Amino acid sequence: MNVDNYMLCLLSAEKGFQFIPDPFVKENYPTLFELWTDQSERSYFSQLATYLPGDSLSRLILEVVSTEVFQDSALLRRKYELFLDHTYSGNVPKAANGQADFWLVQDEGYWYIKRWIDIGTSDTPCWSTIKAGFGK
């Protein structure tokens, strides 16, 4: 839960980072996701970290759907199950399921997430819902 390490995974907004939320969640939080940047990610992740005790049983399970690798980019399509044993008393779910499409690019020899598309796949909340709850 180190925000600085998390941010090292993302391309900066100046270089084109984008988070594309699930359409249903975006409809419910239109202004929140309109200008979502890498700094929004920092804010969301920092807020989340304050509500995750060090002994929490949080987990992220990623299942490979597909992987396409190109010379200087890659698309990693993954189904996910996310469980965050947070202590926040607001209306933020602890579990989320869906699919994440991570578009990675190389920049100065390192791989970064440039575009992250979240797609809800069931009646349960998706990652966008959790980002909306902690990203306000």
The 10s digit of each residue's pLDDT in 15-28 is: 999 999 999 999 99
Kindly report the CATH number assigned to the domain that includes residue 12. 3.10.450.50
Which residues, 6 or more positions from 97, have their beta carbon under 8 angstroms from its beta carbon?
Answer: 79, 80, 81, 82, 120, 121, 122, 124, 125, 126
Two structure tokens written together for 121: 């796949």
| Per-residue model confidence as pLDDT tens digits over 76-94 | 999 999 999 999 998 999 9
Domain that holds residue 27: 3-134
Quick: pLDDT tens for 50-60. Answer: 999 988 889 99
**Confidence at 1, pLDDT banded by 50, 70, 90:** confident
- The single-letter code of the amino acid at 73 is S
- Domains in the chain, number: 1
Judged against a pLDDT cut of 80, whether residue 118 lies above it is answered with yes
Q: In what order do the strands lie in the sheet with 73-83?
A: 18-20, 110-120, 95-107, 73-83, 59-69
